[in-house]
Structure 1
Amino acid sequence: MTLYDETNINIIKEDLRYLKLLSTKYPTISSASAEIINLQAILNLPKGTEHFISDIHGEYESFTHMLKNASGVIKRKLDDIFGTSLMEKDKASLATLIYYPEEKLEILKEEEQDLEEWYKVTLYRLIQVCKSVSSKYTRSKVRKALPKDFAYIIEELLNEQADRINKQEYYTGIINTIIDIECANSFIIALSKVIQRLVVDRLHIIGDIYDRGPGAEIIMDALMDHHSIDIQWGNHDILWMGAASGSKTCVANVLRICLRYANLATVEDGYGINLLPLASFAMGTYANDPCSGFIPRTLDKKLSDSDMSLFAKMHKAISIIQFKLEGQKILRHPEFKMDYMLLLDKINFEKNTVIVNGKEYKLNDTNFPTIDPKNPFKLTKEEDAIISKITNSFINSEKLQKHIRFMYSKGSLYLVYNSNLLFHGCIPLTEDGSFKALQIEGTSYKGKSLLDIFERYAREAYFYKNDLTIKNYAMDMMWYLWCGPYSPLFGKERITTFERYFIDEKETHKENRNAYYKLRDEEELSNRIFEEFNLDSQTSHIINGHIPVKTKDGESPIKANGKLLVIDGGFCRAYQPETGIAGYTLIYNSYGFLLSSHEPFESTKKAIEEEQDILSSTVILEHVATRQRVEDTDIGKELKTQIKDLEKLLVAYRKGLIDERENV
C-alpha cells in the first residue's frame, strides 16, 4: 500500500482530527519530512545500554560506586579505546577520575608536578572517552545531556575530526584556553559526568532499595537525579510505601527491621522521624528485661552497651506492637487465610508455652507486660498513642513522601521492557506448577491479572483519599504484599517472625518458598510465563531478584537455559556470608547480555585514594552476530508509529486535506 492509495486516504480522513493537532507541531511538508528523516535515522542507531541492579538494601556506598562505574562498563570502554597504549595504572587512575572527579582532582592537584601538562593529557583522554560513549546517540540527545555552561565547547570538541587540518589549531586553542583561564577542573568534572550519564541509557532497579543497610534515602536521592530509570517494587519497598501511606502495621514492621539491624539513621536522620516516644516507652516497660532475644545485628557497626540495651528494648516493644496489629488485621480479613500468625492468643502464660501448628513449645522469653491474656491483640493506650504518633510522622515526613511519590511515579510491580519481563519476586504457583488463583473481593486472579490487581491496591493505598474504607482495605493489601502466602513479592508460604524471636526450636522457623522457586530452573515454566505476559519465548528473558543466589554453594544465577536470570547475589552485607559474593548486576547492550558478579566494596575513601575499583567477574550470556538497533526496541516501536503518523500527515498536506502554515 502506497502513501496515496484510496484505502490510505480513507484512513487519513478518519484520523483528520488527530492529524490537524499534529500539524501544529509540524506545520509544513518540509518540517514533517525532516522529522521522518530524523526518526528513520534514529532507528538505525545501536540500541542503548541497559543496566540492571537488584536488592540494594540501603548499601549506598556500594550502590553509588556501581552507578558511577556502570558495573564495569566504563572500565571496559577504557580498555577498548586505549588498549595497551595506556598502562593499567593509568587506566585505573582515569577510571577513578571519571567516577569521582571532584574528590580525585583535589588529590591529583597536590600530587602532579606538571599540572598544566596533566590537564592537557587528561582533557584529550576524556574527550576520546566522551566521543566513544556518545557515538551511539544523536547530536540532539547528546546535547541534552551536556551541562549548560560548557555545552557548546564540549559539542565542538566531540565533533572534532582528526583529518580536519584546518581546524586543528582551533581545537588546540580551546584546550589551551580552558587551562589558561583556570577552568580545567570544572571542565573535567563536566566531561566525567557526561560520560557517566551517556554510558548507560536506562537503569532498572529490580526491587528492595530499603532496609538493612544505612542509606536508603541517599540511594533514593541518587535515583531521583538519574536521567532514565524504572523501579520494580520489592517486598521491603512495599513495606515503606505502606508506612508512608499511613499503615500502622507497615510502620511497626519498618521500625522492627531498622532496630533489628541497628539502622535508625534512615528513619531518624534521613527522614526526621522522632523515635523518642518509643524509646521512653521501651525503657519504662522493659526496664528490668535484658531483651536478649532482641539484641540487634550490628554487622560492622560498633554500639555502646547502653545503646545496645536501648535498641534491644525498643526492638522488643515495637515487635509486640507489630504482632498485635497483625493479629487485628488477620482477624479482620479471614480471606487472607493467615491464622497461623495468630500466636499471642496461643500463649499459656502459666506454663510459659505457646502452641504452633498444634504442637506446644517452650517460650525463651516470658516477659509480656503489655499483653492482656483475655484480649491479647489489643494495644494498650500507651502503645496505641505511640504507633499513632510515629505513623503521623511517616505521613508528614516531607522527604519520605517525596521519595515514595517518586517510587510510585517510576515504579510498578512488574515491567515488560524490550522483550524482557522484570519483577522482584515470583509469579505465585501451585505445587503442580500452574498459576495460583487467589480470591480477592469475590473475584479470582492469577498470573498477570494477580500482579495487576495487587498493583491497583498498592496505588489506591497511597493515592485514594475519598473513601477510607477503600483506602484501609488497600493498606491492608500492602501488608499482605509484604508477608502474605501468595504475595508475588514475599514468595513464601508463611512468615515466622514471632517464632524466630520466642521459640528456640528451628523447625518452627522454616519458611517454605513458593513452588516458583523449585520450578524456575525449568525452561517450560519460563515459556508459560512469557505466554501469560504476551512475550516471545524465543527472544525474551525473565529478570528478578529477592532470593540471594548462594554462589559459594555452587548455585548459578542463570536458570532455565538462560531464559531466567536472578541478580540478587548479596549486595546487602548481611547476606554476603550466605552468598559468598557482593551482588550480581546485568548489562544489556546492543551486542547482548553481560552478567557481572562483584566482590565486596570496601569504601568510597579507598576507591578514591587507592583507586580500588570493585573487583568483578563478567560472563557473556548472549552475544548476537547482528548488532541490535533502536528499531528492535520498545522505543523503536514508538518511533515507527510516529513515522506512520507523519507519513499520513504528509499525504493530508499533499491532498489538500490540511493546509500548510508557512509562517508558524
Structure 2
Amino acid sequence: MKDADMKYLKVLAKQYPNIASAATEIVNLKAILSLPKGTEHFITDIHGEYEQFRHILSNGSGAIQRKIEEEFGSSLAIPDKRTLAMLIYYPECKLEQIQEQLLDGEALEDWYRVIIFRLIRVCKTASSKYTRSKVRKSLPKDFAYIIEELMTGRPDVADQEAYYNEIINSVIRTGRASDLIVDFCYLIRRFTVDHLHVLGDIFDRGPYPHLIMDTLMQHHSIDIQWGNHDVLWMGAAAGQTACMCNMLRISAKYGNLSILEDAYGINMLPLARLALNQYADDSCSCFHVDTSDENYDNSYAELDEKMHKAISIIQFKLEGQLILKYPEWDMQERLLLDKMDLEKGTIIVEGKEYKLKETCFPTVDPKNPYQLTAEEKDVVDRLRASFLNSERLQKHTRFLFTKGSFYKVYNGNLLYHGCVPLNEDGSFKEVEIYGKKYSGKALYDILEHYARKGYYSLNPVEKEKGRDIMWFIWKNKNSPVFGKAKMTTFERYFILDKKTHEEPKNPYYKLIEKEEVVNRILTEFGLPSAGAHIINGHVPVAVKKGESPVKCNGKLLIIDGGFSKAYQSKTGIAGYTLIYNSYGLVLAAHEPFESMEKTVLNETCIHSHIVMEQNVVKRKTVGDTDTGKVLRENIAELEELLEAYRSGCLIENV
C-alpha cells in the first residue's frame, strides 16, 4: 500500500477505529444507495412576487397534494383532503380559522385528534424516502420525542394503542396541540421537497424581494443560479454605482422605492431633494409608475416619477463613463446623451434621426454630457454609503454569494438562468474579459470569478474590476445572463418609434431546438448528451402566442412563465415550476395567485396543469444521484480500511 494511502486510512481510522464500526458504516451507506431519490423543486424569475412564491413553495408545486392523495385515496372525502392540504400550506392561518369556527372546546379537541392522526400518516409517507437518522435530525426540537414516537408507534397493536392515544390526549390537555400541528405541517413540507433550485431573478418588479430572501435563508437545502437582476443588486451592494442607479431606476418604475427605504434602510431623501430641485416644473410624463401592488400609495406617484427621471439621467451618465472606460466591451452604440440635439428636439440612434418625446434635461451639459453635476455626485455618494451600510442588504448579498453561482450541474441536469452565448452557426462565442478571450463554460467561470472579487477582494484594483464586471454582466450583449444585443432603456423612455425598442436575442434562443447545439452545450459542462437536461429561465414563454417551454424534444426546458405580474399579460399564465422526483420530471404551469387570505378562507389552490411529464423506466434511487457517487467513493475507502484491518496493516482499537 502506498504511503499516501496509508496516511489517509490512518486518518479515517480515527472515525472508524475497528472492523465493527467500519463494516456497520458500509452497511448503512449501501442501504442508503437503495432509497428513492429525493424530490427536487425548480423555480425561477420570482421578481419580488412574495405571495405567489410562498404558495408555490408551501405546496411543493402540487407535490404535497400528491402525497395526500397517495396516502388517503378515496378513503377521505375531497373537502377533507382540501382542508388538510391548506392546513399544511398555511398552518398558522388555517388553525386560526378553524379555532374561530369551532368555539366549542370539545369539538375543537375532537378535530385536533383527527387532524393529528391524518398529519402523522402524511408525514410517514413523506419521510419514507429517508433514513431514520435523517428524519430524526429534521425533527423540531420541542416535539422531537413526541413526533418520533407517533411516527414509529403502532396504534393498531393492542399493547401500544393506549400509550399512543395518551400521547395525543396529553398534548391536547396541555394546550400544545396547535404547536404540534404547526410543526407537523412544516415537517411534511420539509420531507416532501428535499432540495430547492432557484434559477435566478429573485429581485426587481415585484414589491417584496426582501421577504423572499428571508424565506430562502431559512430553507433547509437550496442552491441559486444568479440571474441578471440578482447580479444587479449584488453589484449595487458591492458599491458599483451604475448597478445601484439601475436598481433604483427599476424600483422607481415599479413603485418600490418606499420598500427599499423601509426594508433595507436606503435613505431616499437626497434623491428626492435632487428630483424636486431639478424637475419641479417637469411633468416627467415619460417616467410614470407602473405598479401592480394594490398597497401602493398613489399620492407618492408624482414624486416617484420625478425621482425616477432623476436617477435615470444619472444612470445614463455613469454608464457612459463605463463605456468610455472599457472600449473593448464594444458598447459605443449605447452612448446616446451626446447624440441629442435639444434645440431641434432630436437624437441620432445608429445613424438615424428620431424625434425626442421630451427635451427637459437640466443636468446634462451638451459639452460634457456624461459628467455628473455636483449635486448629482453628492446624491450618488450618499446613496452608495447607504447601500454599503445596509445590514439587511449585505446579509442577503452574502447569502447569494454563499449559496449561489452562475450555473450548477446537479443530478444530470445543467442549470443556469439565461443562455450560453453562441454565434449564428451554433459555435460558442468568444468574449474578451480584461485582455483574454473566453467562451462556453470558461466564460461563465471567469465572470463568476470577477463577480466574487468585486464583493470580497481586498485589492482595490481587483475589486474595482470585479464591481465593473457586474455591470457588464447586467447589460452587455455578451453576458450569458442577459443574452440580448442591447438594452434599449433610453429609447423606451424618450423615443416613440418602437423599432428602436427592439432587443434582439442571442442566436442561442433560435438554435436550442437543434439537438447538436444542445448536446454541444451539455458536453461543454461535462454532461452526457443522452439523459441530461438543460433547465433555464430568463425569457418569459409567451404561452398566449403558442410558445412552448419544452425545447429540443424535452432536452431543454425554459421554465420562466411569468411569475412577475408585469409579464403575465404577455405569457398568459403565472409561472412554471419543475419537479424532479424518483419517477421523473413534471413541468407544471400555474394560474395567477390572489392572496393567502382568500386561498385559506375559500380553500382554493392555484389552478395548475401538467405541461410535460417524463417518467423513467426504472425508479431513480440515491445511487443514481451525485450524492450516490460520493457515497460509493466513501464505501470504497471504507472497504480499503476494512482490508487494512484484516490484513494487519492497521491495528484495531477495540
TM-score bin (small chain): over 0.9
Tell me what 2:233 maps to.
Answer: 240
Tell me whether 1:268 sits opposite 2:261 in the alignment: yes
Tell me whether 1:538 sits opposite 2:530 in the alignment: yes
Distance 1:648 1:302 in 2: 64
Tell me whether 1:141 sits opposite 2:131 in the alignment: no
Tell me what 1:494 maps to.
Answer: 486
Alignment CA distance shift 1:661-1:303 (3 Å): closer
Query: What TM-score, normalized to structure 1?
Result: 0.96
Tell me whether 1:660 sits opposite 2:649 in the alignment: no
Tell me what 2:610 maps to.
Answer: 618
Which of 628, 649, 652 is matched with 2:620 structurally? 628
Alignment CA distance shift 1:20-1:99 (3 Å): same
Letter aligned with residue 589 of structure 1: N
Post-superposition offset of 1:300? 4.6
Distance 2:295 2:618 in 1: 54
Post-superposition offset of 1:619? 3.8
Post-superposition offset of 1:339? 0.5
**Comparing 122-131 and 28-37, the one that deviates more:** 28-37
**Contact 2:36–2:622 (Cα < 8 Å) also in 1:** yes
Alignment CA distance shift 1:516-1:69 (3 Å): same
Tell me what 2:561 maps to.
Answer: 569
Tell me whether 1:132 sits opposite 2:122 in the alignment: no
3-state secondary structure, aligned to 2:15? coil
Which of 583, 591, 600 is matched with 1:599 structurally? 591
Which of 421, 424, 427 is matched with 1:428 structurally? 421
Q: After superposition, give the CA deviation of every residue in 1:30-58 in whole Å (9 maximum; x if it has no partner).
A: 11111111111100000000000000000
Tell me whether 1:32 sits opposite 2:25 in the alignment: no
Which of 1, 5, 16 is matched with 2:6 structurally? 16
Tell me what 1:255 maps to.
Answer: 248
**Superposed, which structure 2 residues align to 1:496-535 within 5 Å?**
496-535=488-527
Distance 1:353 1:282 in 2: 24
**Superposed, which structure 2 residues align to 1:451-470 within 5 Å?**
451-465=444-458, 467-470=459-462
Q: Extract structure 1 runs of 4+ deviating beyond 4 A.
A: 302-306
Q: After superposition, give the CA deviation of every residue in 1:279-327 in whole Å (9 maximum; x if it has no partner).
A: 0110111000000000110235365564111001000000000000000
Tell me what 2:187 maps to.
Answer: 194
**Contact 1:268–1:275 (Cα < 8 Å) also in 2:** yes
**Comparing 283-292 and 28-37, the one that deviates more:** 28-37
Distance 1:92 1:265 in 2: 38
Tell me what 1:642 maps to.
Answer: 634
Tell me what 1:110 maps to.
Answer: 100
Alignment CA distance shift 1:340-1:373 (3 Å): same
3-state secondary structure, aligned to 1:24? helix
Distance 1:372 1:540 in 2: 55
Post-superposition offset of 1:115? 1.1
Count of residues in correspondence between the two structures: 651
Post-superposition offset of 1:554? 1.1
Letter aligned with residue 111 of structure 1: Q
Q: After superposition, give the CA deviation of every residue in 1:601-653 in whole Å (9 maximum; x if it has no partner).
A: 00011122221211111245211131100000000001111111111111222
**Comparing 611-620 and 306-315, the one that deviates more:** 611-620
Which of 435, 438, 447 is matched with 2:431 structurally? 438
**Contact 1:242–1:478 (Cα < 8 Å) also in 2:** yes
Post-superposition offset of 1:277? 0.6
**Superposed, which structure 2 residues align to 1:358-397 within 5 Å?**
358-397=351-390
3-state secondary structure, aligned to 1:585? strand
Which of 531, 547, 553 is matched with 2:545 structurally? 553
**Comparing 67-76 and 152-161, the one that deviates more:** 152-161
Which of 472, 475, 478 is matched with 1:483 structurally? 475
Tell me whether 1:83 sits opposite 2:73 in the alignment: yes
**Contact 2:155–2:165 (Cα < 8 Å) also in 1:** no
Q: After superposition, give the CA deviation of every residue in 1:549-583 in whole Å (9 maximum; x if it has no partner).
A: 01111111100000000110000000000000000
Distance 1:142 1:183 in 2: 22
**Contact 1:562–1:621 (Cα < 8 Å) also in 2:** no
**Comparing 250-259 and 174-183, the one that deviates more:** 174-183
**Superposed, which structure 2 residues align to 1:250-329 within 5 Å?**
250-301=243-294, 306-329=299-322
**Contact 2:535–2:558 (Cα < 8 Å) also in 1:** yes
Post-superposition offset of 1:166? 2.1
Runs (5+) with no aligned partner, structure 1: 1-9
Tell me what 2:159 maps to.
Answer: 166
Letter aligned with residue 559 of structure 1: K
Alignment CA distance shift 1:40-1:305 (3 Å): closer
Distance 1:298 1:590 in 2: 41
Letter aligned with residue 49 of structure 2: E
Tell me what 2:47 maps to.
Answer: 57
Post-superposition offset of 1:471? 1.1
Query: What TM-score, normalized to structure 2?
Result: 0.98
**Contact 2:207–2:293 (Cα < 8 Å) also in 1:** no
Alignment CA distance shift 1:34-1:509 (3 Å): same
Post-superposition offset of 1:349? 2.3
**Contact 1:215–1:265 (Cα < 8 Å) also in 2:** no
Which of 129, 146, 150 is matched with 2:143 structurally? 150
Distance 1:452 1:509 in 2: 31
**Superposed, which structure 2 residues align to 1:175-190 within 5 Å?**
175-190=168-183
3-state secondary structure, aligned to 2:369? coil
3-state secondary structure, aligned to 1:355? strand
Tell me whether 1:405 sits opposite 2:398 in the alignment: yes
Post-superposition offset of 1:656? 2.7
Distance 1:91 1:313 in 2: 52
Tell me what 2:220 maps to.
Answer: 227
Distance 1:302 1:106 in 2: 24
Alignment CA distance shift 1:157-1:304 (3 Å): closer
**Contact 2:154–2:164 (Cα < 8 Å) also in 1:** no
**Contact 2:155–2:164 (Cα < 8 Å) also in 1:** no
**Contact 2:47–2:202 (Cα < 8 Å) also in 1:** yes
Q: After superposition, give the CA deviation of every residue in 1:151-190 in whole Å (9 maximum; x if it has no partner).
A: 1111111113465332222212212222222221111111
Distance 2:614 2:161 in 1: 42
Tell me what 1:6 maps to.
Answer: none
Tell me what 2:577 maps to.
Answer: 585
Post-superposition offset of 1:81? 1.1
Distance 2:570 2:336 in 1: 30
Alignment CA distance shift 1:580-1:286 (3 Å): same
Letter aligned with residue 183 of structure 2: A
Distance 2:388 2:213 in 1: 17
Letter aligned with residue 216 of structure 1: P
**Comparing 159-168 and 286-295, the one that deviates more:** 159-168
**Contact 1:461–1:471 (Cα < 8 Å) also in 2:** yes
3-state secondary structure, aligned to 1:405? helix
Distance 2:101 2:594 in 1: 24
**Contact 1:216–1:266 (Cα < 8 Å) also in 2:** no
**Contact 1:214–1:265 (Cα < 8 Å) also in 2:** no
Runs (5+) with no aligned partner, structure 2: none
Identity across the alignment (%): 57
Distance 1:543 1:305 in 2: 39
Tell me whether 1:342 sits opposite 2:332 in the alignment: no
Letter aligned with residue 401 of structure 1: Q
Letter aligned with residue 512 of structure 1: P
Q: After superposition, give the CA deviation of every residue in 1:352-409 in whole Å (9 maximum; x if it has no partner).
A: 2111000111111100110111110000111011011111111111111011100000
Distance 2:75 2:544 in 1: 37
Letter aligned with residue 609 of structure 1: L
Distance 1:342 1:545 in 2: 30
Which of 76, 81, 89 is matched with 1:99 structurally? 89
